[in-house]
Amino acid sequence: MSKSQEYPAPAPATSRTRLFLLATWAVLTAALIAFVATLGTNCPNADEWGFVPALTGNEPLGPWLWAQHNEHRLPLPRLVYYCLFRLTHDFRAGCFFQVGLLSATSLALMAVAARCRGRPHWADLFFPVSLLHAGHWENLLIGYNICFAMILVLETAIGVIALATRESALRSGAKIGILLVLLCLCGGGGVVAAMPVAIWLVFMAIREWKSRVAGAKASRSRAAILLAFAAFPLVYLAVYLQGYHRPGHHPELGEGGFAVVRVTGEVLAMAFGPAAARSWILVAAGIVVLGFLTAFGLLRNRKSEETRRASLGLLAVMAGIIGVALTIGLSRAGIDARNGLSSRYAYLTWPLLALAYLFWAQRGGWCGKWFPAGLCLAAAVAYPSNMFTGLMAGADIHRVLGEVEADAQSGLPPEIIVRRFDEGKMKFQKGQEQRAIRAMPMLKTARIGAFAEEKR
């Protein structure tokens, strides 16, 4: 063999790790796209029957954007949902949009984790493995549930910005303030999550007000900007409650006794996916322990003014997420004690795990190695069960909506089609009969999906 013959140097370990992470992310993203493409249908699903008048132009857009839906007002998600539907005339547009949000979030957080640590690590698989699975079937097959996906993204983004220590208080505070406004516009859950962050912005404003580094006038101007953002959630809540009424089919707040604890625990556990709710006591206990350890680590993180600010900001975001779980427990225990907890809430608490992961990855040391690895392994254990649950439930939804479409194409009148909504396998559509009767002629006129024409 010639001594002059050269061989390419092996790829650095960090490059191989990065390629492994990207390949896994791409495969899981493709699997989720295939899930929606295969099991999604261009037919309203559940509450979407009631949105058809606005989507097809038979109802004014403005009032619908602000209209109360259960306890929520969802102007931002409704606007996005409306635009997606008008562009595509397809109810699956919101489903694919969710996949895009989840995929982009997991990819971005892998990059953030690598930057926090100084290099990528195999445990960063936690982000795609815990987020990109079919266990989120209820959200992924209802395009309108982008409202939950948007809360997930905004909560996470606020936490990531709060964790950064290199930006000035005004710069990071203004970014968070803008995201806080968007979060409030995503419904009641967003308003609850925003409150502790608003308190943190008040704290930052007070510190700016007392600062004399750039002169009193400049400091007070910066403080006023932060206070304006901090005040928005309270002002918005006051407007939100104008004309508000408690949904008649919902129990009184806190009704359900011990079920409040159970539902809150299930919501926390579902951060690992809806399948984790079956073992909610163990999983929720583990998350509570992780939360206490993370809070303890954040409170001890006092190396500088910037790190103290970042620690308090991350604590505020995590407190908001826990507040959302508790609110769901208080408001849903009386319902879900009878019918089981809806899997759509799994999006809302996932950022709690993601932000804890980033903190420990940034912290380094023994904890920075084993805490992220433990979260990744836990997500990997839950992944098969989440996928199986999602595939089974998704197949049922696809079959049910396929039968609705077949009935519509065969020329059956809406009054006959909706009689089947009382059947056991159609329970996901139960209660939507009157909305569907009104919606089906509108879908036919608008030539949407299977309602566009009848089989000859």
Residue 220 belongs to some domain of the structure: no
Tell whether 317 is covered by a domain: yes
Q: Rounded to two decimals, what is the model's pTM? A: 0.90
In a domain, 9, yes or no: no
The whole-number pLDDT of residue 163 equals 83
Percentage helix, strand, coil, to 5, in the chain? 80, 0, 20
Cite the DSSP H helix spans in 340-364: 346-363
Q: pLDDT of 71-89, one tens digit each?
A: 889 999 999 999 999 999 9
- Confirm whether 8 is domain-assigned: no
pLDDT in tens, 313-363: 889 999 999 999 998 888 777 665 445 578 889 999 999 999 999 999 988
Per-residue pLDDT at 2: 44
Identify whether the C-beta of residue 37 lies closer than 8 Å to the C-beta of residue 141: no
Instruction: State the amino acid at position 248 in one-letter form.
Output: G
The phi and psi torsions of 402 (rounded to 5 degrees) equal -65, -35
Supply the DSSP string of 65-104, one letter for each residue.
Answer: HH-EETTEE-HHHHHHHHHHHHHH--TTHHHHHHHHHHHH
Q: What is the DSSP string of 379-435?
A: HHHHHHHHHHHHHHHHHHHHHHHHHHHHHHHTT--HHHHGGGGGSGGGGGGTT-HHH
Residue 161: burial class (beta carbons within 10 Å; 0-12, 13-18, 19+): buried
Whether 162 is in a domain gets the answer yes
Q: What total of structural domains would you count in the chain?
A: 1
Side-chain-side CA neighbours of 448 within 13 Å: the count stands at 27
**In this structure, is residue 2 part of a structural domain?**
no
Q: How far is it, in rounded angstroms, from Cα 144 to Cα 129? A: 24
Q: How many whole angstroms from its chain centre is CA 63?
A: 25
Structural domain range at position 404: 17-167+254-451
Residues 6+ apart with CB under 8 A from 449: 41, 42, 43, 90, 91, 405, 443
Report the distance separating Cα 194 and Cα 200, nearest Å: 10
Provide the pLDDT for residue 155. 95
Residues of the chain with pLDDT under 50: 1-5, 7-11, 214, 337-338
Task: State residue 454's pLDDT score.
Answer: 60
Nearest to 121, CA basis, from 382, 318, 377: 377
> Could you tell me if residue 185 is inside a domain?
no
| Inter-residue contact 23 to 110 (CB < 8 Å) | no
Residue 234 lies in a domain: no
Q: What is the pLDDT of residue 7?
A: 45
